[in-house]
Amino acid sequence: MEALVRTEEILFIAAVISYLVCSGLFIWYLISRNQAAGRLGMVLLVMGWLAHTAALALRWQTSGHAPMANLYASLSLFGWGIVLFFLITDRFYPVKVAGAMVVPVAFIITSVAGVFYEGPQELMPALQSYWLWIHVTIAMLSYGLFALAFGAGFIYIIQEYLLKKQYQNVILGFVFLFVALGLVIGLWLGSWWAEPARVADELGRVDKIYAGEDILKMVIGSIIGLAVGLILGYAAGKGAARPSFSKRLPSLDVLDEVSYRAVAFGFPMLTIGIITGSIWADQAWGSWWSWDPKETWSLITWLYYGAYLHTRLTMGWRGRHSALLAVIGLVVVLFTYLGVNLLLPGLHSYTPT
């Protein structure tokens, strides 16, 4: 058992390192259009994804249940899904340069998963159901598609600004992106650094009580993340804000279609995820819907992407409008997935076992 756990850890670390190296290769490919860098990035990404897949399989074997019962496992699955859908999309669309946006997101998510690493554990009673892997897998895969839509949408916005020679907006776009990512990562690390008191009831619901010192740690983490994001965003924006850069990006039509199709496939998966979660909730807690914070924000996410599809199909919103909605949508997804778990008590927050 210990050997399998150690092997899982090695494979997971190998996957994280692979995603980091691939992030650099895809960014270099975007900057230089060096075909060798792009091809090497794809090869290493496939190898990293296979290692990641093996790590998830070993976690399933050693724990005796699907690898999605804690923050480490579900974050790992989230990152795995992002890479999977990027690899599939690359087979049908010329969007390899999107790897410069999508793969770093996958790296950040999987590396943060490592921060919350926990060894194999037995499931608490409420989670001992086959609905666990059905519900969580479908939900995480839908999140992976929404992350892909975000990447294509953001590149669409940058490409449009470049074609219109609005270089100041290009810089602002990169600054906004990196600042947002920096804040999220800083908040995650600050939450991990903080040690709030946890009080659980008989159902496993956890109330987190943050002292002043815990809040200060979260604020410090957010400020550091903001500062780092501001510096990196400005540097990236300055590098991209030049006429020749637009030639290195896919066309607006391709980016718009990729972003739309990612949402079009992700939305029904999210719908099925919510339905299966409701069935599971009825079996576990005796109620289909209890307005738990996770349930509420899942509904908000569903309504948000439903509005995206509605505005596109009935009101003709395409191009920048859809791209902006796809970019903002990832913020909604991340709060639904992580913000609720870390900041709001409810049925989906559990004490460590």
Residue 135, CB-side half-sphere exposure with 13 Å CA sphere: 18
**Low-confidence winner among 60-74, 97-111, 315-329 (lowest mean pLDDT):** 60-74
Q: Please give the Cα distance from 43 to 232 (Å, whole number).
A: 27
- d(CA 193, CA 190) in angstroms, rounded, equals 5
The residue ranking higher by pLDDT, 53 or 343, is: 53
Which amino acid is present at 162? L
DSSP labels for 245-271?
A: GGGGS--HHHHHHHHHHHHHHHHHHHH
Do 298 and 277 form a contact (C-beta atoms < 8 A)?
yes
| Sign of the torsion angle spanned by Cα atoms 267, 268, 269, 273 | positive
- Is residue 290 within 8 A of residue 121, CB to CB? The reply is no
**CA distance to 206, 208, 227, per residue, from 198 (Å):** 6, 5, 31
Give the residue-averaged pLDDT of 170-175.
89
Which is it for the CA torsion 150, 156, 162, 168, positive or negative?
Answer: negative
Mean of per-residue pLDDT scores for the chain: 83
Consecutive H or E run containing 207: strand 206-209
Q: So what's the pLDDT on residue 91?
A: 87
By three-state DSSP, how is residue 198 classified?
strand
Residue 352 scores a pLDDT above 50: no
pLDDT value at 287 more than 50:
yes
pLDDT surpassing 60 at residue 154: yes
pLDDT value at residue 179: 86
Picking from 215, 213, 209, 180, the residue whose alpha carbon sits closest to that of residue 105 is: 180
What are the φ/ψ torsions at residue 280 (nearest 5 degrees)? -65, -40
Higher confidence at residue 261 or residue 315? Answer: 261
List the domain boundaries for the chain: 2-343
pLDDT of residue 198: 63
- Is a pLDDT exceeding 60 seen at residue 204? no
Q: Which of 82-86, 141-145, 238-242, 345-349 has the lowest mean pLDDT?
A: 345-349
Mean pLDDT, range 130-137, rounded to an integer? 79
Kindly give the interhelix angle for 35-63 and 2-32, rounded to the nearest 10 degrees: 160
Q: Report yes or no: 18 and 46 within 8 Å, Cβ to Cβ.
A: no
Least confident among 27-31, 73-77, 261-265, 318-322: 27-31
Distance separating alpha carbons of residues 100 and 44, to the nearest angstrom: 14
Check whether 351 has a pLDDT greater than 50.
Answer: no
Tokens coding 140:
């995480």
The count of C-alpha atoms lying within 13 angstroms of the C-alpha of 141, restricted to the half-sphere facing its C-beta, is 16
From CA 192, how far away is CA 345, in angstroms rounded? 16
Residue 272 has what pLDDT? 93
Q: Taking residues 154-169, what's their average pLDDT?
A: 90
Task: Give pLDDT, residue 47.
Answer: 96
46-71 average pLDDT score: 86
Confidence class for position 227, pLDDT limits 50, 70, 90: very high
CA distance 132 to 130: 5
